[in-house]
Amino acid sequence: GILLLILVVALSLLGLDLPTVAGLLALSAFALGGKRTETVLSDVDWSSFLYSGGTVLMAIGLSRSDVPLFLRELVGILPLDRDISVFLLAFLLSILIDDLQVIALLISAIDEGSAWSLLLGASIGSAISPIGSIATVESLSIARASGIDIKWRDLIRSSILLSPFAILSGLLSGLI
């Protein structure tokens, strides 16, 4: 991890942009990894890979659509404080879709003062949903491949129980 960080910084200082650096490091890791190409490609969890890629493409597409304008109007007409409206909308949307997509949708629909409400709502909503975060989908996929079956009901129950502690620790860290 440390060596990778040093390589990223060193290559960046040489004038290479971050995507080029990431590509060079990925190619070198692939070439020096010691596994045959067929083995690496057969070990890839393609469904998770496609889900992750689709999520990123969807976030880009949604952020360029008219949906953010609609959401900006929706936040404006809700009878709540603007920050609370942004938080609730981000929370509810991120239960259903990935938090990256929610942020891409709402970032242009909010003012700068509501950014923390957006991040908090999207983070908490995706944390309590088995489909609200790429990391959760990937973790469940890895667990399933390892023979560990985690029920969605158990995941949601644990997430709901742990979320207040995450919120409290986040609030306390702001005071320290």
Kindly state whether residues 123 and 56 are assigned to the same domain: yes
Structure tokens at 20: 């080029």
Kindly state whether residues 94 and 127 are assigned to the same domain: yes
Instruction: Give the pLDDT of residue 57.
Output: 79
| Residue 131 DSSP one-character state | T
Kindly tell me the burial class for residue 155, based on how many C-beta atoms sit within 10 Å of its own C-beta (0-12, 13-18, 19 or more): middle
Kindly state whether residues 130 and 50 are assigned to the same domain: yes
Kindly state whether residues 55 and 33 are assigned to the same domain: no
Structure tokens at 97: 């879709």
Helix (H, G, I), strand (E, B) or coil at 160: helix
Kindly state whether residues 39 and 61 are assigned to the same domain: no
Kindly state whether residues 71 and 124 are assigned to the same domain: yes
Beta-carbon contacts of residue 165 (< 8 Å; ≥ 6 apart): none
15 phi-psi bin (left φ>0, alpha ψ -120 to 50, beta other): left
Distances (CA, A) of 170 to 44, 49, 124: 35, 31, 11
Report, in this order, helix, strand and coil percent for the chain, each rounded to 5. Answer: 80, 0, 20
Question: Of all helices (H) and strands (E), which one includes residue 146?
Answer: none
Distances (CA, A) of 158 to 48, 79, 150, 167: 23, 32, 11, 15
Q: Per residue in 142-173, pLDDT tens?
A: 888 888 888 878 877 877 777 777 667 766 66
Kindly state whether residues 68 and 35 are assigned to the same domain: no
Kindly tell me the burial class for residue 149, based on how many C-beta atoms sit within 10 Å of its own C-beta (0-12, 13-18, 19 or more): exposed
Kindly tell me the burial class for residue 47, based on how many C-beta atoms sit within 10 Å of its own C-beta (0-12, 13-18, 19 or more): exposed
Kindly state whether residues 100 and 147 are assigned to the same domain: yes
Assign 77 a pLDDT band (cuts: 50, 70, 90).
confident
Q: Which of 1-10, 20-29, 82-91 has the lowest mean pLDDT?
A: 1-10
Kindly state whether residues 146 and 73 are assigned to the same domain: yes
Instruction: Give the pLDDT of residue 1.
Output: 53
Domain range enclosing 13: 1-43
Instruction: Give the pLDDT of residue 175.
Output: 63
CA distance 166 to 78: 27
Kindly state whether residues 122 and 160 are assigned to the same domain: yes
Overall domain count for the chain: 2
Kindly state whether residues 80 and 140 are assigned to the same domain: yes
CA distance 157 to 147: 21
Q: Per residue in 85-142, pLDDT tens?
A: 888 888 888 888 888 788 888 887 788 878 888 888 888 888 777 776 777 777 777 8
Kindly state whether residues 130 and 63 are assigned to the same domain: yes
